[in-house]
Amino acid sequence: MDKKSLTALARQQLKLAGSATSGRSSQTVYGGHQRSLRQTVIALSAGKSLAEHDSPGEATLLVLSGKLNLVCGSDQWKGSTGDFLTVPADRHSVEALEDVAFLLTVAMKG
């Protein structure tokens, strides 16, 4: 059994993102390349983004703190603290409307 505080991890990653030139930071909290499920806490400073990219598999996003936009083509969904979003299978991006931390869960394609 492994226990982690997502609140503490979010705070830590937000602090790291704030001091990084890229304005982002992340830490995998479960899984990785050797597992089919991966969960990662990602933090973005306000105004920063994850550029448009393909999804490696089924994915969800849980906003731990802050606000973001999930963008897919002409569609976009706003997420704020506590919101759970299903990530589209198509190319998409994430934009930080304010400092934001979220838990990205991905079920990797076989």
Q: pLDDT per position in the chain (110 positions), as tens?
A: 789 999 999 999 999 999 999 999 999 999 877 788 999 999 999 999 999 988 878 999 999 999 999 999 899 999 999 999 999 988 999 999 999 999 999 997 65
Domains and CATH numbers, the chain: 6-108 (2.60.120.10)
- The pTM for the full model equals 0.92
- pLDDT reported for residue 110: 58
**11-19 contacts: CB < 8 A, separation 24 or more?**
11/101, 13/41, 13/42, 13/43, 13/101, 14/43, 14/45, 14/65, 14/66, 14/99, 14/101, 16/43, 17/43, 17/44, 17/45, 17/48, 17/99, 18/45, 18/99
